[in-house]
Amino acid sequence: MKQMTISPVTRVEGHGEVRIDLNDRGEVERAHFSVVELRGFERFLVGAAVEEAPRITPRICGICPTSHHLAAAKALDQIFGAEPPEAGKKLRELMMLGQYIHSHALHFFMLAAPDYLLPGAGEGDRNVMGLAKGSMELVKKAIAVRKFGQRITEAVGGKPIHPATGVPGGVSHPIQESQRASLLQMAEGVLAAAIESWEIAHSLMDKIDPSVGLVNTAFMGMQKGGLFTFDGGQVQVCSPEGTTLGSFSGADYVSQMEEYTEDWSYLKFCRLKAGQPYRVGPLARLNIVNSMGTSEADKALAEYRKKYGRVVQTTLAYNIARYVEFLWACERAKELLQDSALTAQKTRTPVEGVVNRRGVGIIEAPRGTLIHDYTVNEAGIIERCNLIVATCQNNYAMDRSVEEVARRVIRDGKPIDGGVNLIESVIRAYDPCLSCATHMIKTENGRMASRPFIKICISGVR
């Protein structure tokens, strides 16, 4: 028995590796995706003043901080019993749109595209810099669209990374008319670029092999009256064939899903209560919704469904589904930026003490359904906390996709040309966010650092 490791898995957020066990004949016995970096948010938030959660939890991930910021803020709305005013709600929506545009553009153009647009490139060139050598125009476009997303987040959230303005009852500060006007102006150009580049995403449909990394799972995603939404809808669960299995909102999530662990990864796994694996994120959401609700995204969705059908299991189609969502976010951002209610001065409903001891914020983050669940004492200090992130929910599927591809690319104990990257590209399709997924710290192969040892160290023996 021999073990082969691909480490680190690159062009993904965070620290992960692929471990492949080979038998004596050099065949793949088993392969796993293992996450090797862990932190500990669910534990160290216990004891925190709950109003700090929207400031602390964005630091879970620097690519999707707004999702954590707003999932926490939504939980706080419930805990402090306040409904945000109209402008507060719209500004939060705009902030999330900024997040989708930046995150999806980053993944599609800068992380995933090199696999499909630079098929023959070597290790050093198969990246966004390599893309620039061939097509500077495309990279400039990618920079411009991602910049728009970050500019939105900066305008509404105060900072493009780790926004800070989400508070219980709304948003801390209005945006100015001049900010709205300049963002709207950017939106026009960005939407045109996004529509133009659908061609690239469309061309991937012919380039990808649908059997690569194929797994069969159920799906989970939010919808509102059949339309795509990332906030305020019902989370729906459907079978691998597309039959609705259930739906939930708020604290009911615990009746739908459970988490479990495997010995070889710090990343927890999720499954439905009945035991089935499921997936979340762009592929799942497009399987759940009937339509996107904006014209260009719906046109793209129709082409996507023409190719793949109504319920899609094809793992690599995540990349195309992500682009459909990116188009939607650009269209919706432009639409919302035309709304004069966005600049209203009242953005926040003031709050005082704790009204409810528990708050559950559910939001569709770019990578999938995100749940922040806080239970507090009467003074608003966190007693219990549960964070369920997209990447945990996709963990089973990612892991099985990895094994499927490993079996096809390992010959006589060695990967075929391009085989390692094919394994990684299937992980990449899920756009995993490994920092998000790691709310805890590492063991020491059974030798866990004990508290007395810490005490000795801090009293000077270090």
* Touching another protein, residues 129-148 (CB under 8 A): 129, 132, 136, 139-140, 143-144, 146-147
d(CA 301, CA 281): 15
| Nearest distance, CB of residue 59 and another protein, angstroms | 4
Q: Is 355 among the residues that bind another protein (CB under 8 A)?
A: no
| Nearest distance, CB of residue 302 and another protein, angstroms | 33
| Nearest distance, CB of residue 159 and another protein, angstroms | 6
Residues contacting residue 241 through CB under 8 Å, at least 6 positions apart: 311
Site stretch for another protein (CB under 8 A), options 202-210, 277-285, 321-329, 452-460: 452-460
Cβ closest to another protein, residue 204 vs residue 392:
392
Q: Is 431 among the residues that bind another protein (CB under 8 A)?
A: no
Q: Spell out the alpha helix ranges (H) of 119-166.
A: 128-134, 136-157
State the sign of the Cα–Cα–Cα–Cα dihedral 296, 300, 306, 311. Answer: negative
Site stretch for another protein (CB under 8 A), options 122-130, 185-193, 297-305, 333-341: 122-130
d(CA 444, CA 38): 12
Number of residues this chain uses to bind another protein (CB under 8 A): 108
The DSSP line for 223-282 is EETTEE-SSSSEEEEE-TTS-EEEEE-GGGHHHHEEEE--TT-SS-EEEETTS--EE-SH
Q: Is 29 among the residues that bind another protein (CB under 8 A)?
A: no
H or E segment and range at residue 88: helix 86-105
| Nearest distance, CB of residue 143 and another protein, angstroms | 5
Q: Is 257 among the residues that bind another protein (CB under 8 A)?
A: yes
d(CA 111, CA 102): 12
- Per-residue binding string, another protein, 162-191, x by CB under 8 A, is x-xx-xx---xx------------------
Cβ closest to another protein, residue 241 vs residue 383:
383
Start-to-end Cα distance in the chain: 41
| Nearest distance, CB of residue 55 and another protein, angstroms | 5
Q: Is 264 among the residues that bind another protein (CB under 8 A)?
A: yes
State the sign of the Cα–Cα–Cα–Cα dihedral 273, 278, 281, 285. Answer: negative
Chain residues 270-329 in contact with another protein, contact rule CB under 8 A: 270
Chosen residue from 24, 25, 124, 199 binding another protein by CB under 8 A: 124
Site stretch for another protein (CB under 8 A), options 58-66, 181-189, 195-203, 240-248: 58-66
Q: Is 55 among the residues that bind another protein (CB under 8 A)?
A: yes
The amino acid occupying position 47 is G
Chain residues 73-112 in contact with another protein, contact rule CB under 8 A: 76, 80, 106, 110-111
Q: Is 158 among the residues that bind another protein (CB under 8 A)?
A: yes
Chosen residue from 234, 247, 291, 386 binding another protein by CB under 8 A: 386
d(CA 10, CA 250): 35
| Nearest distance, CB of residue 212 and another protein, angstroms | 18
Parallel/antiparallel/unpaired status of strands 227-228 and 234-238: unpaired
d(CA 103, CA 112): 12
The two three-digit tokens of residue 296, written as one number:
């260009």
